[in-house]
Structure 1
């Protein structure tokens, strides 16, 4: 799931390797593209969180719903990516925006997809080369095999909120947002009933994902044979927890894509606070 800077330096020019830059700023949606245009890893193509990795927000579905898959697949093919391509994705260093892109490729059934651990910051720190040239690749053909097993439905989450606690539900947001002490974005503070709080930031230290042993320790109270659902505010920052769980050996992990912003879009949904 992860590769380091040295691996990418050795393989970046391999014919079957494609690099994706997914830098983004929630406070300034144009900032990621601006950074890419200024400087990026040679050969990297740009995937925008809101234009490429998300669909249009509606009444329900959350702030970052799944993109229109025809549009996403066209973007993939325009980047010269086919089913055999090895993909390496990076953001600045957070891991969440790259994680969302990584998760989407898993959703369409792509196996050889990795995150650059440490992101663009690690690349620069290691004196990796950069360029401002926007590459153009011959279009490819991509045949998706959608993996619905990694998607949690609204009904799955409602079942937990209504008292079925057989499936752990992980809220990946900050402790303050989980407790309802602060809510900078969504209309109602709190969390989905039945959720436990494991902030995604605990699994990423100084821009690097912590190792499998440390991830195991984070999730030590969970059973590896159980299905697990992760969510956050809008289905983006939960993806580092998804990746951390997979690194720790959890096989059945699902993302509630709409996440808390979808949950509170329904008037009859209850929330809890601490």
Structure 2
């Protein structure tokens, strides 16, 4: 796989100075849980990035529940962690892949191509009885050169154009579980339903037992979608759409954009229709 590495490979590379490990464990039910778990134990040499404090910005009237953070502040933390565009970055979360994929996508957006998700995350690492640490590492500051990749991000205007048939052929992919897609329940956002015309590909179906399914299985998930399609992938707030974005890239789709604001941004505009 192109963007996913296994624990065996990382174990053999642990002491390479050209590799930086990032811990992105997080719980939507307990926003401090990830940081606490990092303090208890983490992969040797790993630095911690928090979904809400580091990977998201302030919530406004529009932009969704997890908008991008201030890019300069995010880059400064990368630099303090010794990360520049030459360092190979391996990111993990507890094992479901969503928070690690968010960090992976953000570095891709900044133009960093040598970033990978650890398959199975922390849980798989622990099950293998690989080493962990409580030491908080300190690295020599680096200088990160930004090269924004606007080809992988979508906004509300792009999605409106898809809905209105002005950006064809393009496909909207809703990454949420089916009941939210159908509007049968909505535990988080103020309105239930989906963006008109979207198809449903739940992000969790791209994983099995905390690991990403093989490339051939990902291709089968999206087999009815032409490979040359322009795709816009979304979820509730742009986080769990990230593993679907990653799975699509693994399956060979090149023209994929993440609608960062996702459904929570879409419904913040009264004029936007909902199915």
Q: CA deviation at 1:88?
A: 0.3
TM-score by length of 1: 0.98
Contact 1:163–1:194 under 8 Å retained in 2: no
Aligned partner of 1:256 in structure 2 is 259
Aligned partner of 2:150 in structure 1 is 148
Aligned partner of 1:197 in structure 2 is 200
Choose which of 174, 177, 183 in structure 1 pairs with 2:177: 174
SS in 2 for 1:168: strand
Q: CA deviation at 1:218?
A: 0.3
For 1:185 and 1:166, how far apart are their aligned partners in 2? 31
Which aligned segments of 4 or more residues in structure 1 are displaced greater than 3 angstroms? none
- What is the root-mean-square deviation of aligned Cα atoms in Å? 0.7
Choose which of 212, 215, 227 in structure 2 pairs with 1:224: 227
Choose which of 80, 83, 86 in structure 2 pairs with 1:84: 86
- Is 1:213 the counterpart of 2:216 in the alignment? yes
Choose which of 41, 44, 48 in structure 2 pairs with 1:42: 44
Alignment length (residue pairs): 272
Aligned partner of 2:110 in structure 1 is 108
For 2:164 and 2:252, how far apart are their aligned partners in 1? 28
Q: CA deviation at 1:163?
A: 3.5
Q: CA deviation at 1:162?
A: 2.1
Aligned partner of 1:237 in structure 2 is 240
Q: CA deviation at 1:154?
A: 1.2
For 1:63 and 1:153, how far apart are their aligned partners in 2? 14
Q: CA deviation at 1:159?
A: 1.2
Segments of 5+ residues of structure 1 without an aligned counterpart are none
Aligned partner of 2:101 in structure 1 is 99
Aligned partner of 1:57 in structure 2 is 59
For 2:229 and 2:115, how far apart are their aligned partners in 1? 25
SS in 1 for 2:154: coil
Could you give the per-residue CA deviations for residues 81-118 of structure 1, whole angstroms, max 9, x where no partner exists? 11100000000001000000000000000011000000
Could you give the per-residue CA deviations for residues 111-150 of structure 1, whole angstroms, max 9, x where no partner exists? 1100000000010011110111111111110101000000
Contact 2:155–2:261 under 8 Å retained in 1: no
For 1:6 and 1:109, how far apart are their aligned partners in 2? 27
- Is 1:185 the counterpart of 2:188 in the alignment? yes
For 1:227 and 1:186, how far apart are their aligned partners in 2? 27
For 2:84 and 2:157, how far apart are their aligned partners in 1? 34
Aligned partner of 1:27 in structure 2 is 29
Could you give the per-residue CA deviations for residues 32-61 of structure 1, whole angstroms, max 9, x where no partner exists? 000000010010000000111111111100
For 2:130 and 2:25, how far apart are their aligned partners in 1? 17
Segments of 5+ residues of structure 2 without an aligned counterpart are none
Q: Give the stretch that moved more between structures: 152-161 or 102-111.
A: 152-161
Aligned partner of 2:162 in structure 1 is 160
Aligned partner of 2:129 in structure 1 is 127
Q: CA deviation at 1:160?
A: 1.8
